[in-house]
Amino acid sequence: MTIPVSTETLDLAAKFPGIVTPDEREGYSGWIVKADELAAFAASLRDDLGYDFLSSVTGVDYLPEKKLEVVYHVYKTTGGPGLVFKVQLPRKKPEVPSLTPVYPGADFQEREAWDLLGIKFTGHPDLRRILMWEGFEGHPLRKDWKEPFYEEDIKPYSSRWPEGKHSYAEDRNPFNDNVQFPKQFDPEKWVPEGDAALYGALAEYRTTDEDGLDTDHIVVNMGPQHPSTHGVFRAVITLDGEDIVSMKPVMGYLHRNHEKIGERNTYLHNMPYTDRLDYFCSMTNNHGYALAVEKLTGIEVPERTEYIRVIMDELTRIQNHFILIGMLLNDLGAYFTPALYAFEERELILDIFEAVAGSRMMCNYFRFGGVARDVTPEILEKVSALAFDRLPRKADEFDRLLTENEILVSRCKGVGRLSSEDAIKYSMSGPSLRASGVPYDIRKADPYSIYDRFDFDVAVRYNGDTYDRYLIRLDEIRQSLRILQQAIRQIPEGPIQTGKSTYLTKTPAGESYGRIEAPKGELGYYLVSNGTGNPWRYHVRAPSFINITALESMVVGGKIADFVIVFGGIDVVLGEMDR
Amino acid sequence: MIDLALVLEWVIKSLVVIFMLLGGFAYLTWFERRILARMQTRVGPNRAGWQGLLQPVADAVKLVFKEELIPARADKVIFVLAPILTVVPATVLAVVIPFGTQVILFGRQVNLAVADINVGILFLMAVASVAVYGIVLAGWSSNNKFALMGGMRSTAQMISYELALGLSFVLVALMADSLQLSEIVEAQRTMWFVVLQPVGAIVFLIVTLAEVNRAPFDMPEAEQELAAGFHSEYSGMKFALFFMAEYQKMIVISIIAVTLFFGGYLGPFIGRFPWLGPVYVLGKVVALLFGMVWIRATLPRIRYDRLMDLGWKVLLPLVLGLVLITATGILLADEFGNSLVWSIPVVSILAGFLTVGLVDRSLRRKFNALR
Amino acid sequence: MTAEQIIQQILFFISAALTLGSAVMVVATRKLIQAALWLIVSLFGVAVLYALLDASFLVVVQVVVYIGAIAILFIFAVMLTQRDQRDKGPQLNKSWVLAALVGLATFGGLTFLVSSWTGFGAAAAPIPAGTVDMVADLGTALVSVDQYVLPFEVASVLLLAALIGAIYVAYNRK
């Protein structure tokens, strides 16, 4: 079992009298902070108590209580359990001071909370919508917001076949399309304010040299259709010749409001949806979600299942890192050869996923308190052939072929540097954080599942440049192989499921935050249950999304060619970033 | 009076060269894709025809029938002109190359070169310098920032590398004591210039990669940064022309490299069977092309500013030094006996090692400064 | 006149017309990039004229230096400026009539003087093919002590000075 998010023995209420009160609702933990004093409280948390890593910021709409709640999860990068604090706001006028001065990593998450829940963060430097488009009406995660094709609040719907007759959702929608916008709004004549604001912010960058010569800059839109943004990411870049003067990320092109979908599904319904977040790593996505639900409901996980989960997680990590190295080399301009070498290994790992889960990419393998199918001895044999023989050999081969390559070294060393202070500040997580010299790995720092049983090292590199971000992937592959080898040796016989796999039609009311060390960084799931079979609030703390908060500071001053590899080195997947 | 038979001979020879380049282009794409596939643990095109040999035909048919788009507010005339301006120099380059000595065909002595002019090397320089226009104009006229940046990059790149290219031509001209390509080949009867000028040959091969925008110097079309660079906006046959120009240039530049450094049409029994000349040229060219494909499959791209550094700060001084070494070596050989000609390769290899060492040192310093 | 000469004449007229016509277009067109392109056509016409004179070395130098280097720098500069930079003012000013008259008079005077020169009537002596290596002659002339070595070296020193000056101006002291 995991160590629950606890508050240790800290009595914050005594430390901040009148500002902080303990959250005493049934199933809840943490502290409730007064909105006015939030910034001072957070600064004190960071500076005096050492909670320097802001993991997650999100909001919950408690419609029956007419309240909006902002939930913060903070951790220490030295390890140990975290701390939850909340701010409760009136639903009418939800305003809370922004935490970006204290934790710059809150930037995108606050924008997301504004976008989806309409919580206004005063003092935020650039509070624009981030996932939805600028002309969008309303805030979709509010419980009283109904979309154009609205049928019912929760699945399974009964309206699909009322009295045996079906009707088309689009017939019920006044707009005849799956969009809605304010009245008196004409999309044809719409000038996107957001774009104006975006370009307006960039236009400030104009330089005049000492002779009074004015230099114009070129604004280049990299993406949303661009070969090296790994999807539909868009970066608006101002260039002075080939040098990047400023960069603003624009995302949301793949947004499907995963969280709203999750709130409608029953708990088990939602498992396959998590596959689609980071579609390279469906196993770890499943794990994080299963962890959060198990925490919420207190379901125990059998021994053998924990081992299977660890094996699948580490295989996922290995294939993810292989692909990352291959695609990074592709971004460097090596014409697909490293990428295809990496894909060869990945295919072998996907063979195993297919054997256990029936699907190669969208595995949908984890269940609450178990996994879908047992791992047969034949499959285990295949895994051990990979873990003991082929993959270590291939990791060495990649090392031998790439690490010393002059072009790779000269293009990656010193490019996109991020100091360890900045990495923590911007809530960077995963390999990119560790490449900046912060040995913070949730598997060690706040162990979940059975990671405390294995003997492995936290890979860490100290320069924080793209070369180190490349090297750390190789290191992590090797560490994952160590875990894998131990897990294969130790895996016991036994049941793979506690009780029966059910829909969980009833859950205890309360909240839970399950987080794991996904290949791309800290993947967290925040769940709020009101006792029914559907989550009241379901939030994903996506590493891809939060890790690019630091992107701007990493690329400004570099060349346009560097942007591509810095972005590639952070390792993002748009399915997860845009959700 | 104009000899009608001579005119006919020229026309036929020109047509042969043009068709050779066209066919060569088509099958070079197939060759490259198959080789790349082998190197990348793939299979490559093998469906159209035996071993995929009809793939180029299928591609051509596809490209012909594709819609030709001209972007709004593009400069239409220049936009259409640019691909043509790219293909013409790539084709014209081949006319001065000797593919053999002389053969008797239909009772005529036929020279196996379209035009063996006495300033052959300079002609190559001239046409190569014109070749950049197509790319520049394509980049400018597309009304696209990526295309513009690709065009600007290629201009700067080609101008920079033309210097080193011209100077490596000088090396060969010095060795052969002539600017005429057939005489250069004949001068290699005793020894190929690649042996006498090893470093010069390496510089030449590096520079030609940059001149034809091949990996790892494919800046103008750097896919990861500039989408497709100067031809981002081109489609259909206009795109095919750019593609064709690139591959034709690859072929022609390989032929030039073969002529200048690898003994051209020379090979065993060439004296007895002059028609072996073209066969030898073909074999050597295929070997060089294989090398180019191999490099593409292996190396990542150099960053643009480093590319300029390499051209100006490394290759140019090195090749200037090589010119000095070669000239001195030739003078010494003239004065004190022919065997002193071997001082050229010895000293130039030393110069090459010195250069590599200096570059290595400066890179090391740069990285150490980062720590 | 032989057929060869007739063809040469025709080629001469075509290329001369091309050179002059495009030279006019250079100053007449309003778009900067098109002016640069017409200039290239004009330079190319000159190269053809050299070719007709059997001056193969000059042809190549004309193409390498003027078309391949100088004109490309023009285009480079044009590309770096704003896209729709075109001459919006009138093409002619008040005194264009006067200028045209002066130009015509000069042209007429020159034509009159030149028409009385007998050199046009004489056919150029054909260059004996194969016996003289003109490129080699040119090369020797440039470096031999009793011919042009001094101007050649002076020119190269001048260019070197210009090069150093350019680097000094462009050098970023930071």
pLDDT digits (tens, 9 = 90+) for A32-42: 888 888 888 88
Residues C101 and A125: their CA atoms lie apart, in Å, by 68
Residues B201 and B254: their CA atoms lie apart, in Å, by 12
Binary contact (A220, B306; C-beta < 8 A): no
Residues C114 and C104: their CA atoms lie apart, in Å, by 15
B222 CA: distance to closest CA in chain A (Å) = 7
Boundaries of domain holding B187: 4-304
Question: Do A309 and A374 form a contact (C-beta atoms < 8 A)?
Answer: no
**Residue C118 in domain:** no
Instruction: Evaluate if pTM is beyond 0.80.
Output: yes
Residue numbers in A near B298 (CB within 8 A): 334, 337
**Residue B14 in domain:** yes
Interface residue B145 vs chain A (CB under 8 A): yes
Query: Who has greater pLDDT, A191 or B192?
Result: B192
Degrees to nearest 5, angle at CA A127 with A124 and A128: 170
**Residue B115 in domain:** yes
Residues A148 and A142: their CA atoms lie apart, in Å, by 15
**Residue C66 in domain:** yes
The answer for residues whose C-beta is within 8 angstroms of residue C130's C-beta and 6 or more apart is none
Boundaries of domain holding C152: 137-174
Q: Indicate the number of domains in chain B.
A: 1
- What CATH number matches the domain at A12-122, 3.30.460.80, 3.30.70.100, 3.90.550.10, 3.40.30.10? 3.30.460.80
Instruction: Compute CA distances A278 → A263, A572, A577, whole Å.
Output: 19, 9, 8
Query: Who has greater pLDDT, B13 or C1?
Result: B13
Is it the case that residue A3 has pLDDT exceeding 50?
no
Which pLDDT value is given to residue A5?
A: 47
The share of chain B scoring above pLDDT 70, in percent, equals: 96
Which pLDDT value is given to residue A158?
A: 67
Q: Which amino acid is at B195?
A: V
Is it the case that residue A442 has pLDDT exceeding 60?
yes
Considering only A497-511, A526-540, B135-149, which range has the smallest mean pLDDT? A497-511
Residue numbers in A near B218 (CB within 8 A): 333
Is it the case that residue A277 has pLDDT exceeding 80?
yes
Those residues of chain C that have pLDDT short of 70 are 1, 81-89, 119-134, 172-174
The structural domains of chain A, with segments of one domain joined by +, span: 12-122, 144-160+168-191, 258-578
Do β-strands A31-33 and A83-90 pair in parallel, antiparallel, or remain unpaired? parallel
Query: DSSP per residue over A10-53, as a string?
Result: --HHHHSTTTEEE--STT--SEEE-GGGHHHHHHHHHHHS---E
Binary contact (B139, C79; C-beta < 8 A): yes
Binary contact (B136, C2; C-beta < 8 A): no
pLDDT digits (tens, 9 = 90+) for B113-133: 777 777 788 888 888 888 888
Identify the domain boundary among C57, C87, C117: C87
**Facing A337 at nearest CB: one of B149, B298, B306:** B298
Question: Of B39, C167, B76, nearest to A341 (Cα)?
Answer: B39
Q: Which amino acid is at B128?
A: A
Which pLDDT value is given to residue A7?
A: 46
**Residue C130 in domain:** no
State whether the Cα torsion B130-B131-B136-B137 is positive or negative.
positive
pLDDT digits (tens, 9 = 90+) for A15-36: 777 778 888 888 888 888 888 8
Residues A566 and A555: their CA atoms lie apart, in Å, by 7
Binary contact (A242, B215; C-beta < 8 A): no
**Residue C14 in domain:** yes
Is it the case that residue B183 has pLDDT exceeding 70?
yes
What's the token pair of residue B170? 């000088």
**Residue C13 in domain:** yes
Beta strand ranges found along A447-575 (DSSP E)? 510-518, 521-529, 535-541
**Residue B347 in domain:** no
The share of chain A scoring above pLDDT 70, in percent, equals: 89
CATH number, span A258-578? 1.10.645.10
Residue numbers in B near A228 (CB within 8 A): 223-225
Which pLDDT value is given to residue B130?
A: 83
CATH at C71: 1.20.120.1200
**Residue B358 in domain:** no
Q: Indicate the number of domains in chain C.
A: 2
pLDDT digits (tens, 9 = 90+) for A330-345: 888 888 888 899 998 9
C64 and C143, same domain (yes or no): no
* Interface residue ranges in chain C relative to chain B, Cβ cutoff 8 Å: 2-4, 7, 33, 37, 40, 56-57, 59-61, 63-64, 67-69, 72, 75-76, 78-80, 83, 133, 135
pLDDT digits (tens, 9 = 90+) for B302-348: 887 788 888 888 888 899 898 998 888 888 888 887 777 787 888 88
pLDDT band at A6 (very low <50, low <70, confident <90, very high): very low
Torsion of CA A236, A240, A245, A247, to 10 degrees: 10
Residue numbers in B near C72 (CB within 8 A): 129, 132-133, 136, 155, 159
Complex prediction ipTM: 0.81
pLDDT digits (tens, 9 = 90+) for A144-191: 888 777 777 777 676 666 677 776 666 666 555 666 777 777 767 766
Query: Who has greater pLDDT, B154 or A5?
Result: B154
The answer for residues whose C-beta is within 8 angstroms of residue C147's C-beta and 6 or more apart is C140, C141
Mean pLDDT of chain C: 80
Question: Hey, do A12-122 and A258-578 end up sharing a CATH topology, with the first three levels equal?
Answer: no
**Facing A411 at nearest CB: one of B145, B300, B366:** B300
